[in-house]
Chains A and B, each alone.
Chain A
Amino acid sequence: MDWQYFLGVLHFIVQPMSLFTMVVSVFFGLIVGMLPGLTATMAVALLTGLTYKLSNEVAILSLVAVYIGAISGGCQSAILMNIPGTPASAATAVDGFPIGQRGEGGLGIFIATMSSCVGTLTGTLCVLLLTPPLAVLALKFGSYEFFLLALFGVMICGQLTAGTDPLKGWISGILGLIVSQIGMDGMNAYPRFSFGVLDLMSGIPLIPVMIGLFGFPEILYGLVSSTARAQVKTTSLEMKKGFGIIIRNKLNLIRSSLIGVMIGIIPGVGEDVAGWLSYWAEKKSSKTPEMFGKGAYEGVVAAETGNNAFAVPGSAPAAVLLAALWLHGLRPGPLLMSESPGFVVDISVYMAISAITMVFLALIVSKATVRILSVKSTILMPIVYVLCTVGAYVISNSIFDIYLVFIFGLVGLLLREMSYPAAPFLLGIILGPMADNSLRRALILSSGDPSPFFTRPISLIFASAIILMALTQLNAFGWLRKLLVHSELKE
C-alpha cells in the first residue's frame, strides 16, 4: 500500500465539503434503500445525474457513500417488511423478517448494520492488502468454474431456504434459471422464448422481478383482512444485547468476511452468492441449525457480513456505480492501476469511512423506521405498492417493467402458497446469464468434451459438492447403507 495516496485521501476526506457530501449521500442512500420498492440500484442511478456539477473526487465520494448507504438501507426493508432493497438482502430477510415479526425489528436492524459495517471494513482491508495474491487466485476461475459456481449457488440457496424440502428449493432455482434464458442470448443474439414480443427480447430485468416476487405477496396479504398481519409492537434498538450477539458471533463474522472476500474477487459474481454461502456455512456449523429461517440472529450476521465483505462487487447496484465512475473519467478495468494509481486506496478509504458513518446514521434513522410495523397494513400497503411501481419504472422508464412487477408478483404469490421459496428463483435469474455464457464457452473451448468440469481442481471441488448435495437429497447414501447391511446379513 502506498502511504502517500493514503494520506492524500485522508486529507481530502476531512475537508468540510467532503464530509458534508459524504454524510448527505449516505443518508440519501439509506432513505432510498430502506423504502420498500426503491432499490440501491435506483439510488446510485438517481444521484449520478446530480454529481455532474461536482468535482471528480467529490462526485466519486458521493457515489460510493450513496452505494454504502443504500445497500445498508436495503436490509432494513428486508427485516421490517420482507421486501429486500437489494437482491443480496434476500438472504438477510430469511431470518431478519421473523426477527422483526416477533417485535425485535430494532435489534435485527442493529445486528444487520453492525455486521454489514464489519463486512465492509474487512472487504476494504483485504482490497488494500491482498489485491495482488487474490487477483492470482481469481485468474484460476475459468468458464468451467463460473458455470459450476452458478449451479452450486442456486443449489445451496434452494437447500437453505426450503426448510425440510430441498427439492422445492431446487425446482424454484431451476425455474429462475429458466426465466433468465428469456431474451436474446449473449453469444448468437438468438431470441429465446420471446414469442415475437419486443420487450421480452431484451430479457427479464432483475429489479422488477425482485420487487414483484417479494413485495407483491406482502402487499396483497396486507390488503386482505383475513391474511393481514397483526400490528407488531416494536422494541428499541437494544444495543447492549446487539453488541453481545455480535461478540458471540466473532467466529461467524470472520468466516463470513473471508467467504465474502473470496467470492468477491471473482469478477461478475454478485454479493448475493457470498451472502448465501456465508449463511450456509454458518448454518452448517451451528449447534441449532433448526432455528435458521425462524429468526436466528446468526443468520442475519452471516448474510450481512458476507454480502458486504466484497472486494469487487458484481451486483446490479455495483454495475451502476462502475458506470457512474466511468462517466467521471475513470476507466474501471485492467488499465485502471496505471491510469489512476491511487484509485484503489481512494475507493477503499471512501468505503470504510462511509461504512462507519452509515452505522451512526442507520441507528438514528431506524429509531423511526421500526415504527413502520405499527402502521395499519391497509394504509401502508397501498403506499408500498405505489413505491414498488415507481421503483420498477424509473430504472429504465419502461411501463413493461410495471407489468412485470405484477406478473412476477403473482408468481411469487403462487410460490408462497405452494411452499416454494422465492429466493432461489431470484438467484436463478441473477446467475442464469453467467451460467449460460460460461457453459457454452467452456464446451466450445473443449470441443464439446465435458471432462474439464471434473478434472480442473476448482471445478472438481464444485462438481463434487453439487453431486454430493444431489445424492443426499436422493437418499443415495441411505440406499447404499441398506445395501451394505443386506449384503452383510447375506454373508
Chain B
Amino acid sequence: MEKQSHFDFVTSIGLMILSLVMIVDSYRMAIDVGGPLYASPGMLPMMLALLLLLTSTMLLRRSIRSGGFGKNLAGFLSWFKSFRNSRKAREMMLGGLILALYTFIMAPRLPFWMSTSIFMILVMAILKATSITKSILITALVVGSIYGIFQVIFHVPLP
C-alpha cells in the first residue's frame, strides 16, 4: 500500500497536468470550429478532461492522506533509485530494447523473413532458451509457416 501511495501520488499529478492541457486544447477546438460549445469537436474531450481532473484529484487527495506530501515524494524518489539498480529493471530494459529494435528498426526496413529470423535467434540466444540448432529450427518453422500461410495461401503482404 505504501508503494502504491507513492505511485498514486506521482501518477495523479501527471494525470492532472494532462487533463489541464486537454481542457485548453478542447477549448481551442471549439474556437477553431465556431458555433456552440456543445456541438464542437472539443465537447467530449473537455468533459473527459474534467472527469480526469476530478478523479486524479481524488487520487491525489487519497495518497496525501495516507502518506503526506513530503513522505510520498521522498518515498517515490527512493523507490526510483532502488528500481534503477535492480536486476528486474535491467532485464526489463533489455527485453524492451530488443522488442523496440525489432519493431522500429528491423521490421520496417528488412524483409519479414530476415528481420524475424534475426530477432528470434537473437532473443533465444541471449535468453539461453535452447541450443542454437534448436533455435534455428524453431525460427525456420515459425517464419516458414507464417510466410506460407499469409504470403503464399492468402496473398497478404507481410511487413
Contact = CB atoms under 8 A, between A and B. Distances in A.
Interface of A: 46, 49-50, 167-168, 170-171, 174-175, 177-178, 181, 185, 187-188, 190, 192-193, 216, 219-220, 223-227, 376, 378-379, 382-383, 385-387, 389-390, 393-394, 397, 399, 402-403, 405-406, 409-410, 417-419, 432, 435-436, 439-440, 443-444, 448, 474
A240 to B, nearest CB: 35
14 contacts: A46-B156, A167-B62, A170-B55, A171-B15, A174-B51, A177-B44, A190-B29, A223-B99, A227-B91, A376-B130, A389-B103, A389-B159, A397-B157, A443-B38
Given A181-B44, A190-B33, A390 B150 contact: yes
Contact of B48 (A50, A174, A440): A174
B41 A192 contact: yes
B132 interface: no
A382 B124 contact: yes
A192 B58 CA distance: 27
A452 B69 CA distance: 43
Which 10 residue pairs across A and B have the least CB separation, nearest first?
Answer: A378-B129, A443-B38, A185-B41, A190-B41, A224-B91, A378-B127, A223-B95, A382-B123, A406-B103, A448-B38
Contact of A435 (B44, B59, B88): B44
A397 B157 CA distance: 7
Contact of B129 (A226, A379, A418): A379
A397 B156 CA distance: 9
A220 B39 contact: no
Interface in B82-131: 87-88, 91-92, 95-96, 98-100, 102-104, 107-108, 116, 119-120, 123-124, 127-130
Contact of A386 (B11, B47, B142): B142
Contacts of B150: 390, 394
Contacts, number: 152
B55 to A, nearest CB: 5
A394 B158 contact: yes
A382 B119 contact: yes
B78 interface: no
Interface string B48-59: 110110011011
Given A224-B88, A224-B95, A399-B107, A444 B158 contact: no
- Main secondary structure, interface of B, reads helix
A185 B130 CA distance: 50
A405 B52 contact: no
Contact of A399 (B58, B156, B159): B159
Residue in B39, B62, B103 with the greatest tally of chain A CB atoms within 10 Å: B103
A167 B59 contact: yes
A129 to B, nearest CB: 38
B55 A418 contact: no
Contacts of A174: 48, 51-52, 55
B52 A418 contact: no
Nearest to B38: A443
B11 A220 contact: no
